[in-house]
Structure 1
Amino acid sequence: MTNTILFFSGILAALILGSRLKINIGLVALAFAFVLGTTAGGLSANGVVALFPVTLFFNFFLATFLFGFAGKNGTLKLLAAHLLYACRGVGWMMGLLFFAVTVIVAAMGAGGSAPFFLSPICFGLAMQAGIASILVPLAVWTGSMVGGSVPWTAGYATNIGQLEIYFDAVASKSYVMNFFTFRAVFYTILYVVLFLVFRGWKAKKLETVSLEKPESFNAKQKKTLAIILFTIVMVIVGSLLQTMIKVSWAAQIGRICSFQFLAALGIVMNIYWKTAEYDRVLKEAVPWDTLLMLSLTGMYMALANALGVVTYMSDVLQNQISPALILPGIVLAMSVLSFFVSGGVIIPMMLPLLQIFASASGTSVSMIYCAAQMGLTASSISPFSQGGAAALTGCTDESIRRKLIQQQTILSGVFALVLFLLAILGVFALVE
């Protein structure tokens, strides 16, 4: 029990000190990892260093570095403009178009950053067309999560890397794919329902709206786009071969077509073709602060076994809490926590406890993992979270912005409640 208290106290202290002193939370967690690991955990300093999540670090680094070239040379922003221009004349489905374009651009590598450059474009068109302004942040928010649920994005690579600290590669991939599939389906259905609720079809034709023809892709942008498409196609081909053809050569091709290899190859090609300034992409496109936070907190969380936290928590959950309340409780707790703390900080706290929660609730690790992750996303439409704030960046009318802040705050609570009710009804069993 003492070690468990020390373990969670260390997490809390890292969060408070990191926030108050404006120091990367991961660095504070690293200091605590050495103190607890070498005293209560009985590890040597090298033993603590060995906990560093190598897979997580390189997956995140390669994904953000690869797609950073497309962000820095304007490929993704121009792609969004071309997609919107190509679909002019279908005003009744403009709200759906905002969602679809965000999905495509996010899947092309933009991920969670897609709302930052799509929000201004979509808000400008929505104001002219006279559709409900709330559909813009909802479209780019849900669209970025659906588009970010593909296996060649930074989010996929990060989640795989985090899980591989505690589970083997096959199981980790299965848990992430189940969660991403559930997330994509849930938020697609959610946005379509909201489109109908807010009468998104009540709009002018896009051809009557001021929509200038975007400039053509330049040579560097074409090369960047070709590299991204090649990477996506090869990832899909490799996965299909491994799944559908059970022979050695297909398995070998599937291993070669790993995202890590293709991302490294794509980075080299971008550098060789000089599609963007190498130094600028490396310094600005790779979120080093986030990478340190994820990797170093991952080291701290990996101490859970050495400190006996897993064994103690397993005993508590199995003997003192009703199994039926565990999964809905996780959804509710994650939804509440994400109002105050970034999901990137919260989810590492859950990972060493996944097996415990699964055993105590009589469900699977896949269900618990999906429930925790979905709980974190439900309230992220709040304007006080990164996702909700990014979706609002394009709104220049202050009166509309104030109204949207109120609406997004209310909706974040509504979405969390919806997921909580789905958890009670057993919908998460679909990821089994």
Structure 2
Amino acid sequence: MSLSVIFLICILSAIFLGFFLKVNAGIISTVLAVLLGVLGCGLSVSGVIALWPSKLMMTLVFMTFFFGFAINNGTLHRIIQVATRWGRKCPPLIPIILFAINFIMSMIGVPAYAMFAFTAPIIIPICVDSSISLILAAIIIIGAPIAGGYSSVGQFGIITTNTMLAHGYSMEQAIPIVRTMWINNIIVQVLVFVAFYFILKGYKTKVSESVMHPDPFDKVQKKTAILLMVAFGSMILMSVLKTLIGGDFFITLNKFNDVLFIIPILIIASIILKVGDEKEAFKRIPMGSILLVCGIITLVSVGLKGGILDEITVWAADNVSSGVAPYFLCVAASFMSYFVSTTSGVIPTLGTMVAGIAQSTGLNTCLLYSCISVPAGFTGYSPFSSGGSITLGSIVDDNLSKPLYKTLLWFPLLATVINILCIMLGIMQKGPF
């Protein structure tokens, strides 16, 4: 049995054993990574553990810790309420405002999984009171954070960039790949939102009581909002100064333009300014999800160390034609994402095939990765995947969660058809290579 077959068995086993046994798939992946690395690739246990994506883990820990303050003290809740009130004189704008808020917050780094859990119990009642369809509500809650989350500081962008590096791409190659994935996710998610906005008559939205009378920001929330603006603004400012002014000072300053430097400083500031309880904010760190992502990436890294990329390249050259490849990846990603997370399961698994397919068919690498991430993002609405399950789990009212559950069973299947049409019509953009 070839190494690539053993690797695929290992990674699929980790995902599905984790699902059926209710054990974190990242832990299973780590065990399988050691077995595969030692027995199949000639690595030592220490050599396998060295492949653990420590930078990714630190980034996710610090980001979720920092935004935990804003979630716990109600700052993000208040931002949603206040921004939604802007649409009180023109109710049809309310769904658009909600979509834009979720997109922007995810784009600046609020973890998408936290967005699913946090915004669902806020947005669902607003949508029910305002006569907004639950399908449109699901697109706002899940689709908008997915569209925004592939930015350079977004959760999906960070995870996917590190996955690209694990796949053997350089940072210079990974950045345009992820940027193209972000553009295509925005295009398709916005197209779907706009289509269903008109199909489901979002323009007939009414003004609810919660929109008319939101509570004002208190002192703690004002401090937190300023820290949120500093977090994103400082990263943009350093990049702009380097580009517009240049010079040794700003070039050196831009070297500090990293979330692993900026966010810890803001965490310290949050504690000093007493914007929330440190222990409670720390509880917001989704260690289960982080272990899942890091464990699977470690398993992928072991496989690549063993040379599975060469084997997959040969297989792709013999079995996947240029005309079929985008649709093959689209359907495969949709099927997998119906049950597992896009960034921790689908992209690491199918991403190992992209380089081989691109080399054998001459297809655009950036587009092929988009053919994985975009459809997987939509079937991630499924009640059995991360987006749908977290959203449903955060709604305590059964009268709201039950109809939404039924919707999320079939909506991903419709979305898969929409994604295939987008590929056929050439709506998805190609990157530089």
Q: By the TM > 0.5 criterion, same fold?
A: yes
> What does residue 306 of structure 2 align with?
307
Quick check: 1:57–1:161 contact (8 Å CA) kept in 2? no
Following superposition of structure 1 onto structure 2, how do residues 266-415 of structure 1 map, counting pairs within 5 Å?
Answer: 266-282=266-282, 284-343=283-342, 344-392=344-392, 393-394=394-395, 396=397, 398=399, 401-415=401-415
Quick check: 1:355–1:365 contact (8 Å CA) kept in 2? yes
User: Partners in 2 of 1:125 and 1:256 — Cα distance?
Assistant: 41
User: Partners in 2 of 1:397 and 1:10 — Cα distance?
Assistant: 38
Structure 1 pair 404–25 and aligned structure 2 pair: CA distance change class (3 A): closer
Quick check: 2:150–2:178 contact (8 Å CA) kept in 1? no
User: Partners in 2 of 1:110 and 1:7 — Cα distance?
Assistant: 30
Quick check: 2:313–2:356 contact (8 Å CA) kept in 1? yes
User: Partners in 1 of 2:276 and 2:17 — Cα distance?
Assistant: 37
Structure 1 pair 359–130 and aligned structure 2 pair: CA distance change class (3 A): same
Quick check: 1:10–1:32 contact (8 Å CA) kept in 2? yes
Counterpart secondary structure, 1:52: coil
Following superposition of structure 1 onto structure 2, how do residues 2-401 of structure 1 map, counting pairs within 5 Å?
Answer: 2-107=2-107, 109-165=110-166, 166-204=168-206, 206=207, 209=209, 211=211, 213-243=213-243, 248-282=248-282, 284-343=283-342, 344-392=344-392, 393-394=394-395, 396=397, 398=399, 401=401
Deviates more, 1:327-336 or 1:176-185: 176-185
Report percent identity of matched pairs.
22
Counterpart secondary structure, 2:204: coil
Q: Deviations over 1:208-230 (max 9, x none)?
A: 74546333323332222211101
Deviates more, 1:146-155 or 1:3-12: 146-155
Quick check: 1:25–1:293 contact (8 Å CA) kept in 2? yes
Q: Deviations over 1:259-285 (max 9, x none)?
A: 221112111211222322212222x11
Following superposition, the deviation at residue 316 of structure 1 comes to 1.2
**Residue identity in the other structure for 1:31:** V
Q: Deviations over 1:56-75 (max 9, x none)?
A: 22222222122122122221
Q: Deviations over 1:356-381 (max 9, x none)?
A: 12212312332222221112112122
Structure 1 pair 342–147 and aligned structure 2 pair: CA distance change class (3 A): closer
**Residue identity in the other structure for 2:127:** A
Structure 2 spans left out of the alignment, 5+ residues: none
Following superposition, the deviation at residue 8 of structure 1 comes to 1.8
User: Partners in 1 of 2:398 and 2:194 — Cα distance?
Assistant: 26
Following superposition, the deviation at residue 195 of structure 1 comes to 0.7
Quick check: 1:333–1:375 contact (8 Å CA) kept in 2? no
Quick check: 2:330–2:371 contact (8 Å CA) kept in 1? yes
Over 6 Å off, 4+ runs: none
User: Partners in 1 of 2:134 and 2:14 — Cα distance?
Assistant: 39
User: Partners in 1 of 2:33 and 2:210 — Cα distance?
Assistant: 56
Following superposition, the deviation at residue 36 of structure 1 comes to 1.9
Quick check: 1:26–1:296 contact (8 Å CA) kept in 2? yes
Following superposition, the deviation at residue 3 of structure 1 comes to 1.8
**Residue identity in the other structure for 2:75:** T
Structure 1 pair 57–401 and aligned structure 2 pair: CA distance change class (3 A): closer
User: Partners in 1 of 2:237 and 2:188 — Cα distance?
Assistant: 26
User: Partners in 2 of 1:305 and 1:155 — Cα distance?
Assistant: 22
Structure 1 pair 384–43 and aligned structure 2 pair: CA distance change class (3 A): closer
Counterpart secondary structure, 2:60: helix
Quick check: 1:111–1:145 contact (8 Å CA) kept in 2? yes
Number of corresponding residues: 428
RMSD: 2.5
Quick check: 1:160–1:176 contact (8 Å CA) kept in 2? yes
Following superposition, the deviation at residue 168 of structure 1 comes to 1.9
**Residue identity in the other structure for 1:237:** L
Following superposition, the deviation at residue 33 of structure 1 comes to 1.7
Q: Deviations over 1:162-201 (max 9, x none)?
A: 2222222222222222211221232122211211111111
Quick check: 1:18–1:28 contact (8 Å CA) kept in 2? yes
Counterpart secondary structure, 1:43: coil
**Residue identity in the other structure for 2:126:** L
Structure 1 spans left out of the alignment, 5+ residues: none
